[in-house]
Amino acid sequence: MIPALVIFANPGQHIAQSTNLIFFIPTAVVALYVHIKNKRIDFKMTGPIVISGLIGAFFGSRLALTLSGPALKKCFGAFLLVMGIYELIRKDTRSLQSKK
């Protein structure tokens, strides 16, 4: 959603990312409900994940506020590139393991 917002509406990187986060909340709540209903959540891992997520969100938001719009856009682009490469490598590794 962020690249589409920036390309088509050009609201600025900070607004695009915050808008994306606001629209993510209802989706996350529904997904959480479905996963709890289907018993697919390991509640023993919930605490550490929530705590590390809150700490990461706090420091990430502080960092985002200190960056200019263009710098934030470059950081986000680099993040997407790294995650894309990671997904390609991970999927390639999975396909190799399934062939064995």
Percent of the chain clearing pLDDT 70 (strictly above): 91
pLDDT in tens, 78-91: 999 999 999 988 87
pTM exceeds 0.75 for this model: no
Cβ atoms of 90 and 40 within 8 Å: the answer is no
How is the chain classified by DSSP, letter by letter?
-HHHIIIII---HHHHHHHHHHHHHHHHHHHHHHHHHTT---HHHHHHHHHHHHHHHHHHHHHHHHS-HHHHHHHHHHHHHHHHHHHHHHHHHHHHHHH-
pLDDT value of position 94: 60
Measured distance CA(70)–CA(55) in Å, rounded: 25
Percent of the chain clearing pLDDT 90 (strictly above): 55
pLDDT value of position 6: 83
Question: Judging by beta carbons within 10 Å of its beta carbon (0-12, 13-18, 19+), is residue 16 exposed, middle or buried?
Answer: buried
Stretch 64-71: mean pLDDT: 91
Residue extents of the structural domains in the chain:
2-99
Q: Six-digit token pair at 64?
A: 């985002």
Which has the higher per-residue pLDDT, 44 or 93?
44
Residue 100, pLDDT > 60, answer no
pLDDT band at 4 (very low <50, low <70, confident <90, very high): confident
